A and B are shown apart, each in its own frame.
Chain A
Amino acid sequence: MSPEPVRRDFMLGEGTGTGSGTGGDSNLQIGLGPAHPAMHGIIRIQTELDGEFIRKADVEIGYLHRAFEKDCEVGGYNNAIPYTDRLNYVSPLINNFAYASAIEKLLGIEVTERCQFIRTAMAEISRVCDHLTCIAATSMELGAFTVFLYMIKAREYLYELVEDVTGARLTISYGRVGGVKADLPDGFAPKMTTAFKETREVLDEVHRLLTGNRIFMDRMVGIGALSREETIAYSITGPMLRAAGVGYDVRRAQPHWAYDRVQWEVPTQKDGDNYARYLVRMAEMEQSMRIAEQALALMPGGPINVDFEGKAIDPAAYIDRGKQGKTEGLLLVPITLSPNLQGQNRPLHDRVNTSDKHVVLPPKENTYGSIEGLMNHFMLIMEGYGIRPPMGEAYFATEGANGELGFYVISDGGDRPYRVRCRPPCLPPLAALHRMIEGEQIADLIPTFGSVNMIGGELDR
């Protein structure tokens, strides 16, 4: 008994033209993703292929939708900070600060000078991490695994910096409305110098490996290009816009934090293709490191209360004294508390947080050690109290790693945001992705998709 003959369409798939009998003149439908190693995160691209060429592409997103905007509406203003970590999870600090700044705009308050410099420096470190990841992943997909390992090594140095400051690598939750969680730890500056030195060495190596590399250029030059007009019409911002010849950067156009007090350049390219995007990102990393270095050098110390006497006591003894009511002089006793784990060291608290009691939690020492501090803490934590911006709306934008990251926040006067809208920098490039890949070969989709630097968490929210 002979086995059943294998059907031709089983071997060749749909669209081979077997039905029509004319022999293969219809296009082949191929779905890429959602679970495909080259789709960073999860996304599906339904393509219509004519041989190797993409004739039509439909991009489907939403696989990572987590109802970020809805979740923001059910908690207090600071409750959304951990959710913003998970928007662009490669550079979460920028999201934290942008969200906090939007609420500050709504409240009409200013953060301290030192805090603005901290935000600037930490945002730039995150941006370097983001660009490193983007170029590393793209080059790995083009076969340059060495570059991937080098760049991830450099990112590791920067992640260690982030970990020193925030206590976490990815889900950092370091921003706060009105300030940041804690001041920079001791010895941060020399660590940053070392990390940047390593990063610069890696960038130099990668330049030598990739920038003039024949294979790399064949895959990148002229591929995935988008004209200047179309880039603007699709609201694409960030490195992709600057690669198309428009020098728009929110940090330069509408300076916030400390961006107007440091010297830096906005690198641009003309061609708008994948190679131009690569060059812009490489140049921006150097500029970001420049900004971070200057921010750290210019960072003002701010007031530290040093006019008390006596030895530092440990937190447990401090709290015991508070419980027993022996609070006399307690507010002036220094305390040995890690500046980045258990809240703030009290003297450092004022340097990085706004003085508005209605916005910022008191230092933990005050919460545990005095009734005023405890009441202040309660008034910000209890449901129905908390941060209550006046009725109104505000839009705050900063330069995320992929473009303009905007938060549009509406307050109804209550303790919870009425509406939080995140303008995701990733969404416009994805909306225009079909324009970049149609007419090109399916293999070109990979570097183009890499240069878009899609981050699912921010795209799908």
Chain B
Amino acid sequence: MQGSQILQRLRDRFGGAVVDSHEHHGDATLVVERAGLIDALRFCRDEASLDFDVLMDLTAVDYSRYPGREDGPRFEVVYHLYSIAHNHRLRVKVRVDEDDATAPTAVDLWPIANWFEREVWDMFGLRFSGHPDLRRLLLYEEFVGHPLRKDYPINRRQPLIGPKV
């Protein structure tokens, strides 16, 4: 399916929950409400004409320094979906406020979301409600802060010396 048809299909189905949709550089992108996220993802996966069976990537973006987005919701969680059968892609995004930095987990839909979400928690400090094991993935548990946030200075060092007693 063409990107525009995918977006049309999803807008028809989830009219109220769709915040925005666009197709810059040929990448179909859908922004949904947090409450409708899991329904939308499940629909993308299970609907035969969409059949997005692969969660290719899951990451987040901190928009706090982005021109024009300083006041808006600080984070976006970005899902890149791919369908092997139909060979089409879709990007689904959900906006998350800093005060309530939580998104629903997608582990029930795709088991790979487990590690991807752990990495997002590690790097951005976003929690995923319902995640079975939300530990840091790349950094160590004693690490303070979340380094991919825009307010984390690049030159801050936190050496870990020896085991914690």
The answer to whether A and B interact is: yes
Is B111 close to A, CB under 8 A?
yes
- Given A234-B112, A392-B24, A394-B24: A406 and B56 interface contact (C-beta under 8 Å): yes
Encoded as 1 (CB less than 8 Å from any B CB) or 0, chain A from 403 to 427 comes to 0101010101100001101010001
- Given A62-B140, A246-B84, A395-B91: A234 and B111 interface contact (C-beta under 8 Å): yes
Is A393 close to B, CB under 8 A?
yes
Residue pair B138, A65 in contact (C-beta under 8 Å):
yes
Tell me which of B4-12, B59-67, B95-103 binds A.
Answer: B59-67
Is A108 close to B, CB under 8 A?
yes
Judged by DSSP, the binding face of A is: mixed
Is B14 close to A, CB under 8 A?
no
How distant is A280 from chain B, measured CB to nearest CB, in Å? 16
In the complex, residue of chain B having the shortest beta-carbon distance to the beta carbon of A424: B57
A234-B113 Cα distance, complex, nearest whole Å: 8
Is A450 close to B, CB under 8 A?
no
Is B144 close to A, CB under 8 A?
no
Residue pair A232, B25 in contact (C-beta under 8 Å):
no
In the complex, residue of chain A having the shortest beta-carbon distance to the beta carbon of B136: A62
Partner of A395, one of B27, B111, B148: B27
Residue pair A412, B66 in contact (C-beta under 8 Å):
yes
By the criterion of a CB under 8 Å from any partner CB, how many residues of chain B are at the interface? 37
Encoded as 1 (CB less than 8 Å from any B CB) or 0, chain A from 42 to 79 comes to 00000000000000000001100101011101100000
- Given A246-B84, A248-B84: A391 and B138 interface contact (C-beta under 8 Å): no
How distant is B78 from chain A, measured CB to nearest CB, in Å? 7
Encoded as 1 (CB less than 8 Å from any A CB) or 0, chain B from 122 to 158 comes to 0100000000000011111000000110001010000
How distant is A414 from chain B, measured CB to nearest CB, in Å? 9
How distant is B92 from chain A, measured CB to nearest CB, in Å? 12
Residues of B within 8 A of A253 (CB): 87
- Given A106-B25, A392-B24: A431 and B138 interface contact (C-beta under 8 Å): no
Residues of A within 8 A of B112 (CB): 233-235, 428, 431-432
Encoded as 1 (CB less than 8 Å from any B CB) or 0, chain A from 79 to 94 comes to 0000000000000000
Partner of A431, one of B57, B62, B114, B147: B114
Residue pair A69, B54 in contact (C-beta under 8 Å):
no
Residue pair A423, B56 in contact (C-beta under 8 Å):
yes
A69-B136 Cα distance, complex, nearest whole Å: 17
Which residues on A are within 8 Å of B, measured CB to CB?
61-62, 65, 67, 69-71, 73-74, 105-106, 108, 230, 232-235, 237, 246, 248, 253-254, 391-395, 397, 404, 406, 408, 410, 412-413, 418-419, 421, 423, 427-428, 430-432, 460-461
Which residues on B are within 8 Å of A, measured CB to CB?
24-25, 27, 29, 53-57, 59, 61-62, 65-67, 78, 80, 84, 87, 89, 91, 110-112, 114-116, 123, 136-140, 147-148, 152, 154
Question: 6 A-B pairs, CB-CB below 8 angstroms?
Answer: A61-B138, A62-B140, A413-B67, A419-B61, A419-B62, A431-B115
Known interface pairs A67-B154, A431-B111, A431-B114; 6 further A-B residue pairs with C-beta atoms within 8 A, sorted by A's residue number = A70-B152, A412-B65, A418-B61, A419-B61, A421-B57, A428-B115
Enumerate the 8 nearest inter-chain pairs by beta-carbon distance, A residue then B residue, closest first: A62-B138, A431-B115, A423-B57, A235-B112, A65-B138, A394-B25, A421-B59, A234-B112
